[in-house]
């Protein structure tokens, strides 16, 4: 029975998953399988884009026959001759003998090499920039040599702004019914396998990938259809960013990939001790035993991390076999621009360090941080200082220096107790008010902040923000690693502050009032109205401040939207936040904090809603009758919530309405 899915109205995916393949290309384990993608266009002419591996030919032909729905197949566009996409061409020609093959001259040569067939009169040759039409759809061709073989070409559908990208932007792993990347958590669940696919399949050809990315940058892309893995129709920019890093051999993160080869555990022991020293210094370590983890996974992590540590015992007067395989793979994949630390072990003639150094020295931009650490059989106490020095050298490049405690030259006297900290003093500082937005797992998030500050000029400019940890947006921002800031203007209505400041995204769709789906190029929404400027930021550092999380970020895009005056925190309190309406004296009841409506009575039912503004019971506060003793407590200066309390609020108290902490409460009586 066929299984197909629509990509667009005219284009149908007719490929298949292969979950029984042990090793892709005979080398790379694919425990989650792999998909072979093929696409059929139904236009005035029918056009098939690539075929599939022989392993899935049967379901492929069922899919194709179903998608054709009785029509004949007019064209086959071949973008890549590797047999995982081209093996089935011969069988296709048997079933659809009238098909014309659209390809370039290098593909023509390989057709002759792979098949004993006469292609005379069956080929339509194209070259870069040629235009081919199937009726409503027109296509142009982009040559992509060495991404992944020399004959590779991509095809761009000018009508649907859709790129058939061949192996580029592919991913290991079966589709499992999920055709589009945005039908699941691609960046949470699939990115590791996408990285392993890229680095091992095309990692060697970074320059060629960069060249084709430059060509692709000129194309408007609504869809990207690779030969493996899901189709992209949203958030493609995020994936493209990864390709820009991988293909330029730029580390994705400041961290250490530590790989060791150990026969009896002594080299492993030294590697463990070094890992511990690194972690103690605040360095992130990804650690692998080369005898356990296949090289393709370690290669992918070597592309990911900025610093590499290789520790190998000596074996047959050379590098231990699994480490030798890894080093060989890294050299063959042309990894560049990494800091390297080497450790060797040998009971009588340690040579693995020298040999690893020789092999890795051929790589561009590789620098060695240390003299090789040599272990004779087992690490000794007096060598720990050497590992400390290695850990210090790595940490000095990866861990930001903490500023020394400020020293006062004015007084050396110790304060006798805690000095007063008046919260109101902080309100004298000039804060702007902004909407912070981010996007994670395909969902948009936003909240009000008043903490955005530019902290560095130059290129790129940097800013810092802090977000309350209990706020859902904070968790999502940690996940997404990027955000937008929409700077609100003085004419912003209270409803915006209410929406993004007092309501939870778990209960309301905060973006429903903005149907335009306005986003910056990072794919994150911004607030298009009552906003004078927007900035797109990428997080480069975070610091846990207890109740809040500090984010430092590079500004990667910004634009001015209006000439409106920025709303300060002070202006918001003075002119936008509703004043408490006078309530009838002498009466006991509840006043709505949003609109001031007064409900008389000693009780307020749980399902009560304000007849004026429709807010619920949680937005009402109790008003005591005249003569009744007022209740002591604390009021939240952010949202007005009153917490009855006779003594001190607990240090970890947070507002149940807006999640602000104890520091934003002040004593009050109600
Ligand atoms: Fe998926 Fe290079 O073949």
Locate all alpha helices (DSSP H) within 295-363, ordered by sequence. Answer: 295-304, 321-332, 352-360
Give the length of the chain.
670
Span from the CA of 145 to the centroid of ligand 1 (angstroms): 13
Residue 598 and residue 583 in contact, taking contact as beta carbons nearer than 8 Å = yes
CB of residue 226 inside a 6 A radius of ligand 1: no
Which residues is 444 bridged to in the sheet? 439
Q: What is the pLDDT of residue 585?
A: 59
pLDDT digits (tens, 9 = 90+) for 632-659: 899 887 777 788 898 899 988 988 777 7
Asked if residue 64 has pLDDT above 90, the reply is yes
Atom number in ligand 1 closest to CA 166: 1
The reported pLDDT for the residue numbered 201 is: 95
The whole-number average pLDDT for the span 613-628 is: 75
- Bridge pairing between strands 16-18 and 34-36: antiparallel
Average per-residue pLDDT for the chain: 90
Ligand 1 atom at minimum distance from 201 CA: 2
What's the Rg (C-alpha) of the chain? 31
| CB-based contact 556:538 (threshold 8 Å) | yes
Distance CA 503, CA 152 (A): 52
Q: Which residues of 320-339 are buried (b: 16+ CB within 10 A; e: fewer)?
A: bebbbbbbebbbebebeebb
C-alpha 15 to ligand 1 mean position (Å)? 14
User: Phi and psi at residue 483, in whole multiples of 5°?
Assistant: -160, 165
| pLDDT at residue 354 in the model | 97
Rounded to whole angstroms, the Cα distance separating 581 from 246 reads: 59
Q: How many CB atoms lie within 10 A of CB 457?
A: 8
**Using 50, 70 and 90 to split pLDDT, how confident is the model at 322?**
very high
Ligand 1 centre and the CA of 198: distance in Å? Answer: 11
Mean pLDDT computed over 477-494: 91
Is residue 437 over pLDDT 60? yes
The string of pLDDT tens digits covering residues 403-421 is 554 444 444 445 555 566 6
Judge if the beta carbon of residue 82 lies within 6 A of ligand 1. yes
Tell whether ligand 1 has an atom less than 6 A from the beta carbon of residue 35.
no
Ligand 1 pocket member 53 (CB < 6 A):
no
Count of CA atoms in the C-beta half-sphere (13 A) of 2: 16
Q: Is 192 helix (H, G, I), strand (E, B) or coil?
A: helix
Q: Measured from the CA of 228, which atom of ligand 1 is nearest?
A: 1
- Would you say the CB of residue 166 lies under 6 angstroms from ligand 1? no
Residue closest by Cα to atom 3 of ligand 1: 82
Which position has the token pair 């992944």? Answer: 148
Cβ neighbours for 495, distance < 8 A, ≥ 6 positions apart: none
Query: 3-state DSSP call for residue 641?
Result: coil
The pLDDT value given to residue 425: 63
126 C-alpha vs ligand 1 centroid, how far in Å?
Answer: 21
Token pair belonging to 663: 């520091």
Res 259 pLDDT > 90: yes
Cβ–ligand 1 distance for 660 under 6 Å, the answer: no
pLDDT score, position 407: 42
pLDDT band at 355 (very low <50, low <70, confident <90, very high): very high
Distance CA 255, CA 394 (A): 9
Q: What is the mean pLDDT of residues 19-45?
A: 96
In whole angstroms, give the CA distance from residue 506 to residue 230: 29
* Residue 404 pLDDT: 52
- The pLDDT score that the predictor gives to residue 579 is 66
Q: Give the up-direction half-sphere exposure of residue 640: CA atoms within 13 A in the CB hemisphere.
A: 19
DSSP secondary structure letters along 406-418: P--SS--PPPSSP
18 within ligand 1 shell (Cβ under 6 A): no
Q: Which atom of ligand 1 is nearest to the CA of 170?
A: 1
Ligand 1 nearest atom to the CA of residue 167, by list position:
1
The yes-or-no verdict on residue 274 having pLDDT over 70 is: yes
For residue 127, is pLDDT > 80? yes
First to last CA, the chain: 71
Alpha carbons 647 and 225: distance in angstroms, whole number: 63
pTM: 0.63
- 50 CB near ligand 1 (under 6 Å): no
- Judge if the beta carbon of residue 209 lies within 6 A of ligand 1: no
Task: Please report which confidence band the pLDDT of residue 534 belongs to, taking 50, 70 and 90 as the band edges.
Answer: very high
CA 318–ligand 1 middle distance (angstroms): 34
Out of 47-56, 113-122, 501-510, least confident range: 501-510
Element (H, E) at 395: helix 384-398
Nearest to 46 by CA among 79, 65, 72: 72
Q: Is 84 in the pocket of ligand 1 (CB under 6 A)?
A: yes
| Confidence bin at 627 (pLDDT 50/70/90) | low
30 CB near ligand 1 (under 6 Å): no
Expressed in angstroms and rounded, the spacing between residue 241 Cα and the centre of ligand 1 is 22
Answer yes or no: is the C-beta of 196 below 6 A from any ligand 1 atom.
no
Ligand 1 pocket, residue 193 CB under 6 Å? no
């Amino acid at each position: 029975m066929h299984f197909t899915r629509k990509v667009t109205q005219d284009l149908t995916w007719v490929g298949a998953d292969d979950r029984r393949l042990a090793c892709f290309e005979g080398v790379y384990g694919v425990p989650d399988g792999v998909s072979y993608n093929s696409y059929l266009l139904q236009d005035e002419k029918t056009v098939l884009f690539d075929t599939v591996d022989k392993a899935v030919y049967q379901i492929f032909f069922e899919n194709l026959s179903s998608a054709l729905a009785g029509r004949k197949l007019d064209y086959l566009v071949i973008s890549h001759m590797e047999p995982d996409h081209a093996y089935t061409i011969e069988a296709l020609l048997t079933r659809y003998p009238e098909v014309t093959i659209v390809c370039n001259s290098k593909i023509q040569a390989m057709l002759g090499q792979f098949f004993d067939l006469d292609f005379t009169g069956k080929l339509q040759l194209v070259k870069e920039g040629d235009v081919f039409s199937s009726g409503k759809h027109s296509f142009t061709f982009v040559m992509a040599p060495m991404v992944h073989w020399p004959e590779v070409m991509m095809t761009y559908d000018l009508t649907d702004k859709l790129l058939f990208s061949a192996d580029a932007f592919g991913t290991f792993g079966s589709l499992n019914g999920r055709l589009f990347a945005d039908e699941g958590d691609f960046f949470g669940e699939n990115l590791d396998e996408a990285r392993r696919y890229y680095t091992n399949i095309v990692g060697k050809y970074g320059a060629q990938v960069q060249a084709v990315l430059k060509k692709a940058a000129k194309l408007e892309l609504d869809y990207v259809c690779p030969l493996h893995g899901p189709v992209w129709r949203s958030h493609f920019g995020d994936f493209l960013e990864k390709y820009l890093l991988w293909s330029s051999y730029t580390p994705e993160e400041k961290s250490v990939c530590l790989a060791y080869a150990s026969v009896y555990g002594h080299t492993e022991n030294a590697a463990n001790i070094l890992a511990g020293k690194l972690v103690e210094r605040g360095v992130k370590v990804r650690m692998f035993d080369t005898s356990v983890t296949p090289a393709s996974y370690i290669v992918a992590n070597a592309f990911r991390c900025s610093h590499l540590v290789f520790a190998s015992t000596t074996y047959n007067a050379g590098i231990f076999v699994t480490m030798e395989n890894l080093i060989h793979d890294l050299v063959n994949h042309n990894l560049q621009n990494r800091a390297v630390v080497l450790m060797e072990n040998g009971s009588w003639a340690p040579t693995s360090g020298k040999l690893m150094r020789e092999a890795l020295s051929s790589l561009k931009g590789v620098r060695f941080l240390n003299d090789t650490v040599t272990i004779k059989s087992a690490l000794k106490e007096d060598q720990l200082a050497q590992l400390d020095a290695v850990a210090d050298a790595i940490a000095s490049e990866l861990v930001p220096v903490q500023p020394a405690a400020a020293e006062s030259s004015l007084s050396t006297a110790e304060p006798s107790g805690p000095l007063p900290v008046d919260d109101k003093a902080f309100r004298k500082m000039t804060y702007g008010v902004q909407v912070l937005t981010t996007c994670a797992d395909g969902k948009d998030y936003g909240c009000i902040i008043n903490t955005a500050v530019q902290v560095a000029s130059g290129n790129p400019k940097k800013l810092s923000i802090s977000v309350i940890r209990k706020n859902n947006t904070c968790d999502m921002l940690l996940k997404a690693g990027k955000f937008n800031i929409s700077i609100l203007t003085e004419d912003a209505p209270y409803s915006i502050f209410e929406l993004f400041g007092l309501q939870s995204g778990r209960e309301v769709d905060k973006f429903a009032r903005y149907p335009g789906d306005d986003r910056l190029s990072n794919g994150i929404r911004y607030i298009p109205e009552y906003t004078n400027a927007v900035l797109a930021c990428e997080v480069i550092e975070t610091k846990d401040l207890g109740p809040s999380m500090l984010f430092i970020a590079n500004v990667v895009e910004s634009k001015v939207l209006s000439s409106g005056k920025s709303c300060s925190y002070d202006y918001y309190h003075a002119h936008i936040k509703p004043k408490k309406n006078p309530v009838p004296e002498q009466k006991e009841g509840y006043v709505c904090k949003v609109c001031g409506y007064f409900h008389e009575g000693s009780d307020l039912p749980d399902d009560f809603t304000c007849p004026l503004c429709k807010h619920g019971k949680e937005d009402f506060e109790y008003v005591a009758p005249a003569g009744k003793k007022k209740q002591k407590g604390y009021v939240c200066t952010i949202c007005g919530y009153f917490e009855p309390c006779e003594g001190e609020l607990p240090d970890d108290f947070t507002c149940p309405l807006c999640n602000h902490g104890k520091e934003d409460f002040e004593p009050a009586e109600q």
